[in-house]
């Protein structure tokens, strides 16, 4: 049954997304929902940013059908009889995800002010710790172990907010958001498989499956004459929310049915966007600029200023992410101290930044 | 917690939550449709002549999902009583309900925006209807309707698919006058919700009262919204398909008696809430076949078109039809209460409806003659 719960949502989501993308394109072109290209992507065809609209329905259909089949044929595989706290968590997460989806659709089509966007995101993020899914143990990262609820719950909420807002910045380069999210969901899916967490596994494989067609269309399809499509805010908010739920859910299992350091593996998949948003925020704060206005200071902008093409940027960032994941997995496997691992990650990342800055300045000085 | 508190919780919380969410969300959909010009272009068959957005139905599914998930989650979190042995079955059914609704939602949105052929719509309705038997939910027992009781599995499954497609289409087709489909569904959901309340089925109450709560603000904007002030909205195909699917789910769940405690006559009571649109489809199809028209192509022969031809206003049409629907439900309930036998009750309903149709025909002729003179 566990193989069914990998393959069925993957295929179902892949087919549904592949079927829906041309329809979304048709609707958005016919109804003129193509967002006019602004300063950020000059010289391109006007690309609809509504691809993310398909993610939530496809997730509901593919993951829902699989979960229902699993529950029908072998109820013990899910959570019901002995453990109802999981049930509460998934219910609350579904409500929060719907909220995020609605917010994203409104933001893509109409634009939502930053204040109301933050308020709604906070409400959706608050549902996660309230359902009992909060980081109660850091397993020795920075020497911290058990957390009391009044630190753990706000921390969880901030993590959800942070991840949900870190994903949209990736949506500037073709295929970057879908590619990174696919890597993250694949790794998390393997972790969920090892932990026998059937529902999270279904989520992960459904997300991997439905992002495949987007990745293909963004990277290869748009060069073969197919019309390109972006995920938009809907997509990034949805992906970010699901990612944070899965990451937090799996991190809590460390020490129970997974090795202690699984928290670093889970967060390691999101290392690049998380660190990069942090760096950008610090830079903006130091330069006394508006925290929320978009600028050209993200890692992919810097790489492009350093002389890389969009495809090179995509491949480079994916390789970096992949090597960070491998590093974290290996170190957790050999039972390193997690603080040391974190410091290693940060220092490797800093070295990377220095190298990028070097190439950027070299290019500028020519 | 005692029974009363549980009942109050499962009625008030979903109802209030979805009223608030609907009140917040529907104006946004209005702004969105007007700014992005997502209109239903006026054509021959439709009743209106200024562009009115028909995306009101896209609010139903997300709000229902939020409300049901939240109230169910809080329910389990607060350790309120539930039967953990049937929870797997319930879970399967409710998840598949949302899966089917989501399929119809997607088709409906595409239909509202750029149009879908009736074949594709029909196919998706059948696909979503098949999800019911898959989740172990079909009509086992006709409870004495036409003197049939137990029916074989495959007949029950086919009948279930037929009923789902029938009810979904019935609501889709009755949605021609402001507030009519919402009003009839309101009566239907209220009846089913009260039946669930009497039998203490809290999960049903969560769903029915959640949906009632969304219909209320929608109905307000639908009926009382001013076209000129850009406050009017239609539910469109998205709304009628998802609403019809939800109603047929509740009907069949209550009728199938799968381990729950509804009386055997629940099938006829539930169906009677939908008799008005269902009988009307039969009449329309008969008329179309007699006139050698394609029975799937739209025309102006539905009951609300006929009532408009008697010369009353569209709001009056809505009131009359909702009242007649309520009357049919009450007649059925009285019949069941006095143990008249299901077939007999059904015949009474058909008779009432024929009388109503005859009255309408009489007034049409009268109005026609008056205009002619």
Of residues A61, A95, A99, nearest to B103 (C-beta): A61
**CB-side exposure of B188: number of CA atoms within 13 Å?**
33
The secondary structure of residue B291, as a DSSP letter, is T
> A263: pLDDT confidence band, cut at 50, 70 and 90?
confident
CB contact under 8 A, B28 and A106: yes
CB contact under 8 A, A31 and B38: yes
Question: Which residue out of B63, B102, B110 would a mutagenesis test of the A interface target, given it has the greatest number of A Cβ atoms within 10 Å?
Answer: B102
pLDDT of residue A43: 47
SS3 B150: strand
Distance, CA of A81 to CA of A77 (rounded, Å): 10
Pure H helices in chain B: 3-35, 60-77, 87-113, 118-134, 153-174, 180-199, 202-224, 236-256, 266-272, 275-290, 303-309, 314-337, 342-372
CB contact under 8 A, A20 and B114: no
pLDDT tens per residue across span B190-243? 988 888 888 777 888 888 999 999 999 999 988 888 777 778 888 888 999 999
Range of the domain at A98: 4-263
Helices A4-30 and A55-73: crossing angle, nearest 10°?
A: 150
SS3 A142: coil
pLDDT of residue B224: 86
A60 touches chain B (CB under 8 A): yes
Of residues A64, A71, A75, nearest to B98 (C-beta): A64
Residue of chain B nearest A84, judged by CA positions: B76
The tokens for A265 are: 């593996």
pLDDT of residue B233: 86
Give the predicted TM-score (pTM) of the model.
Answer: 0.89
Residue of chain A nearest B102, judged by CA positions: A57
CB B222 within 8 A of CB B182: yes
CA distances from A199 to A71, A261, B289 (A): 10, 22, 50
Distance, CA of B44 to CA of B140 (rounded, Å): 44
SS3 A258: strand
Average pLDDT over residues A25-35: 78
Average pLDDT over residues B109-117: 85
Examine residue A324 and state whether it is found in any structural domain, yes or no.
no
Of residues B28, B89, B102, nearest to A57 (C-beta): B102
pLDDT tens per residue across span B140-175? 777 767 777 777 778 888 888 998 998 888 888 888
Say which residue the tokens 């809505």 belong to. Answer: B318
Examine residue A308 and state whether it is found in any structural domain, yes or no.
no
A287 touches chain B (CB under 8 A): no
Number of domains in chain A: 1
> B1: pLDDT confidence band, cut at 50, 70 and 90?
low
Contacts of A190 (CB under 8 A, 6+ apart): none
CB contact under 8 A, B99 and A65: yes
Beta strand A137-141 with B52-53 is unpaired
* Range in A19-28, A77-86, B324-333, B342-351 with the lowest mean pLDDT: A77-86
CB contact under 8 A, B98 and A110: no
Say which residue the tokens 């104006």 belong to. Answer: B27
B17 touches chain A (CB under 8 A): no
pLDDT of residue A140: 72
CB contact under 8 A, B95 and A64: yes
pLDDT of residue A285: 85
Examine residue A206 and state whether it is found in any structural domain, yes or no.
yes
Complex prediction ipTM: 0.87
Give the count of beta carbons closer than 10 Å to the beta carbon of residue A267: 20
CB contact under 8 A, A132 and B77: yes
pLDDT tens per residue across span A84-96? 677 788 889 999 9
| A33, pLDDT greater than 70 | yes
Spell out the domain ranges in chain B.
3-263
Q: What's phi and psi for B81, nearest 5 deg?
A: -70, 135
Distance, CA of A219 to CA of A173 (rounded, Å): 10
pLDDT of residue A82: 53
CB B234 within 8 A of CB B52: yes
Q: How many residues does chain B have?
A: 373
Contacts of B198 (CB under 8 A, 6+ apart): none
CB B29 within 8 A of CB B55: yes
Examine residue A240 and state whether it is found in any structural domain, yes or no.
yes
Examine residue A226 and state whether it is found in any structural domain, yes or no.
yes
> B274: pLDDT confidence band, cut at 50, 70 and 90?
confident
Contacts of B112 (CB under 8 A, 6+ apart): B38, B40, B54, B55, B57, B58, B236, B237, B238
pLDDT of residue B99: 92
Examine residue A323 and state whether it is found in any structural domain, yes or no.
no
Q: What are residue B40's DSSP bridge partners? A: B52
Instruction: Tell which wins on pLDDT, A3 or A101.
Output: A101
Examine residue A268 and state whether it is found in any structural domain, yes or no.
no
Beta strand B52-53 with B39-40 is antiparallel
The tokens for B14 are: 């979903």
| A39, pLDDT greater than 50 | no
pLDDT of residue B15: 92
pLDDT tens per residue across span A47-78? 778 888 889 999 999 988 888 888 777 656 55
CB A238 within 8 A of CB A52: yes
The secondary structure of residue A172, as a DSSP letter, is G
Q: Would you put residue B115 in left (φ > 0), alpha (ψ -120 to 50) or beta?
A: left
* Range in B244-253, B281-290, B293-302, B363-372 with the lowest mean pLDDT: B293-302
């Amino acid at each position: 049954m566990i193989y069914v719960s990998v393959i069925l949502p993957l295929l179902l989501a892949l087919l549904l997304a592949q079927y829906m993308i041309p329809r979304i394109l048709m609707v958005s072109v016919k109804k003129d929902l193509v967002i006019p290209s602004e300063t950020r992507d000059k010289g391109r065809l006007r690309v609809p940013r509504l691809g993310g609209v398909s993610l939530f329905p496809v997730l509901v259909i593919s993951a829902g059908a699989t979960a229902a089949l699993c529950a029908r044929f072998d109820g013990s595989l899910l959570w019901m009889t002995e453990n109802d706290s999981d049930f509460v968590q998934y219910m609350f997460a579904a409500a929060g995800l719907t909220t995020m989806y609605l917010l994203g659709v409104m933001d893509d089509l109409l634009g939502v002010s930053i204040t109301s966007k933050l308020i709604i995101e906070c409400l959706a993020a608050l549902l996660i710790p309230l359902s009992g899914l909060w980081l109660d143990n850091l397993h020795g990262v920075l020497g911290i172990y058990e957390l009391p609820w009044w630190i753990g719950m706000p921390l969880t909420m901030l993590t959800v907010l942070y991840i949900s807002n870190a994903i949209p910045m990736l949506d500037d380069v073709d295929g970057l958001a879908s590619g990174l999210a696919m890597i993250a969901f694949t790794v998390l899916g393997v972790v969920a498989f090892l932990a026998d967490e059937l529902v999270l596994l279904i989520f992960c494989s459904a997300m991997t499956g439905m992002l495949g067609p987007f990745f293909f269309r963004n990277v290869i399809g748009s060069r073969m004459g197919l019309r390109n499509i972006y995920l938009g805010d809907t997509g990034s908010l949805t992906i970010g929310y699901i990612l944070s739920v899965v990451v937090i859910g799996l991190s809590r299992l460390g020490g129970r049915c997974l090795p202690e350091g699984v928290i670093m593996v889970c967060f390691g998949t999101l290392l690049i966007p998380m660190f990069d948003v942090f760096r950008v925020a610090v830079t903006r704060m130091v330069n006394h600029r508006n925290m929320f206005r978009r600028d050209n200071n993200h890692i992919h902008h810097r790489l492009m200023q350093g002389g890389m093409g969009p495809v090179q940027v995509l491949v480079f960032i994916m390789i970096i992410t992949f090597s960070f994941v491998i590093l974290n997995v290996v170190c957790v496997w050999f039972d390193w101290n997690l603080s040391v691992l974190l410091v290693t990650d940060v220092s490797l990342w800093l070295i990377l930044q220095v190298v990028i800055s070097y190439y950027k300045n070299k290019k500028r000085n020519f | 917690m005692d029974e009363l508190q549980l009942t109050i919780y499962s009625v008030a919380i979903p109802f209030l939550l979805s009223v608030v969410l609907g009140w917040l969300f529907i104006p946004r959909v209005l702004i969105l449709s007007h700014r992005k010009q997502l209109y239903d272009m006026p054509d021959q068959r439709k009743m209106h002549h200024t562009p009115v957005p028909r995306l009101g139905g896209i609010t139903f599914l997300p709000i229902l999902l939020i409300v049901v998930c939240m109230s169910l989650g809080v329910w389990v979190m607060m350790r309120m009583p539930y039967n953990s042995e049937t929870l797997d079955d319930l879970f399967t059914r409710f998840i598949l309900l949302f899966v089917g609704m989501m399929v119809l939602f997607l088709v409906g949105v595409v239909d509202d925006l750029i149009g879908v052929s009736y074949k594709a719509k029909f196919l998706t309705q059948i696909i979503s209807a098949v999800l019911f038997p898959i989740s172990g939910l079909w009509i086992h027992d006709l409870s004495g309707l036409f003197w049939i009781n137990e029916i074989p599995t495959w007949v029950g499954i086919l009948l279930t698919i037929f009923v789902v497609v029938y009810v979904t289409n019935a609501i889709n087709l009755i949605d021609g006058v402001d507030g009519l489909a919402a009003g009839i569904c309101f009566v239907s959901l209220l009846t089913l919700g009260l039946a669930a309340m009497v039998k203490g089925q809290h999960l049903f109450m969560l769903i029915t009262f959640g949906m009632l709560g969304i219909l209320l603000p929608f109905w307000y904007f639908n009926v009382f919204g001013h076209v000129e002030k850009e406050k009017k909205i239609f539910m469109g195909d998205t709304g009628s398909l998802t609403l019809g699917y939800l109603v047929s789910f509740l009907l069949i769940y209550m009728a199938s008696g799968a381990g729950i405690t509804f009386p055997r006559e629940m099938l006829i009571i539930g169906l009677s809430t939908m008799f008005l649109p269902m009988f009307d489809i039969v009449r329309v199809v008969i008329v179309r076949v007699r006139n050698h028209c394609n029975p799937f192509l739209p025309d102006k022969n539905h009951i609300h078109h006929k009532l408009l031809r008697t010369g009353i206003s569209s709001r009056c049409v809505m009131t009359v039809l909702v009242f007649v629907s309520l009357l049919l439900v009450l007649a059925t309930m009285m019949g069941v209460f006095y143990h008249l036998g299901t077939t007999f009750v059904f015949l009474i309903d058909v008779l009432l409806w024929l009388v109503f149709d005859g009255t309408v025909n009489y007034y049409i002729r009268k109005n026609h003659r008056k205009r002619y003179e």
